[in-house]
Amino acid sequence: MHTESINDKKLSLTLVDAIVFKHNVQPGAVIPVLQEIQEEYGYIPPAAIQRIANHLGVFSSDIYGMVTFYAQFRLQPPGKNVIKVCHGTACHLGGAERLTEAISQHIGTTEGRTSKDGQFTLERVACLGCCSLAPCVTVNGEIHGRLNPESVGKVVNKLKEEKTANVE
């Protein structure tokens, strides 16, 4: 069975319109609007930026300025699985760099990139607030703590197996 993931989704301008209207076409609501669009598509598609700018009567460069200022927003579609490694203080001291290195090896891509097969995106995050279980990562939003280079491999391999199971 192949389930459609968010990065296959075609941009629907009607949906973008609906989100902007839900927030009463207020320029002040641009962050929640962008958040909802990213929630839908996994990133902020350029055509959506143009559309929002038209609605709000601002330049699309203004919206780009917002998207690039706030670290949460992506301009590229992410892979099917998003892994975020915490690089907060506790995780840094607990070996976040090594964890990143180990994950890179397992998924075949480096920080800030998506693997060639589109399966994995590896990102960094400032602190997940789970510092007492450092080092931590999130996998598709789920937090895993007390990791080491070996146990993080298990987490990644499980995702890979799930993928194989889906293909069958």
Partner 1 sequence: MKRVDDKSWVIKVGLASCGIAAGGSRVFGVFKSKLEGKDLDVELKPVGCIGMCYREVLVEVSSLKGRVFYGQVTPERVERIIDQHIIGGQPVAEWTVPQEEIDSFMSRQKRIVLRNCGIINPESIEDYLDSGGYMALHKALTKTPLDVIDEITRSGLRGRGGAGFATGVKWLMTRKAAGSPKYVICNADEGDPGAFMDRSVLESDPHSVLEGMLIAGHAIGATEGILYVRAEYPLAIQRLEKALEQAREKGFIGNEILGCDFDFNISIRQGAGAFVCGEETALIMSIEGKRGMPRLRPPFPSVSGLWGRPTNINNVETFANVPWIIANGAGAYAAYGTDKSKGTKVFALAGSIARGGLIEVPMGISIREIVNEIGGGTASGTAFKAVQLGGPSGGVIPASMSDIPVDYESINKTGAIVGSGGMIVMDEKACMVDVAKFFLNFTQDESCGKCTFCRLGTRRMLEILEKITGGEGSEADIATLEELAAEIRKSSLCGLGQNAPNPILTTLKYFRDEYMEHITARKCPAKKCQALITYIIEAEKCPGCGLCIRYCPVNAISGNKKEPHTIDPDICIRCGLCNSICRKGAVIAV
Binding residues (CB under 8 A) for partner 1: these are 26-32, 34-35, 65-66, 69-73, 87-90, 92-95, 97-98, 101-102, 104-105, 125-134, 136, 141, 143-146, 148-150
136 binds ligand FES (CB under 6 A): yes
Q: Cα separation of 88 and 85, whole Å? A: 9
CA 118 to chain centre: 13
> Which helix or strand (DSSP H or E) is residue 85 part of?
strand 81-86
Distance in Å, CB of 153 to partner 1, minimum? 9
Closer CB to partner 1, 34 or 156, in the complex = 34
Binder of ligand FES out of 15, 66, 90, 159 (CB under 6 A): 90
Distance in Å, CB of 144 to ligand FES, minimum? 11
For the beta sheet containing 142-144, the strands, ordered from the edge strand earlier in sequence to the opposite edge, are 120-125, 81-86, 137-139, 142-144
- Per the listing, tokens 């296959």 go with 8
Q: Cα separation of 94 and 135, whole Å? A: 5
130 binds ligand FES (CB under 6 A): yes
8-state DSSP, 130? -
Q: Restricting to residues 69-88, which ones interact with ligand FES according to CB under 6 A?
A: 86, 88
Binder of ligand FES out of 25, 131, 155, 159 (CB under 6 A): 131
Contact between residue 64 and residue 75 where contact means Cβ atoms under 8 Å apart: no
Q: Which does residue 19 touch among ligand FES, partner 1, none (CB within 5 to 8 A, set by kind)?
A: none
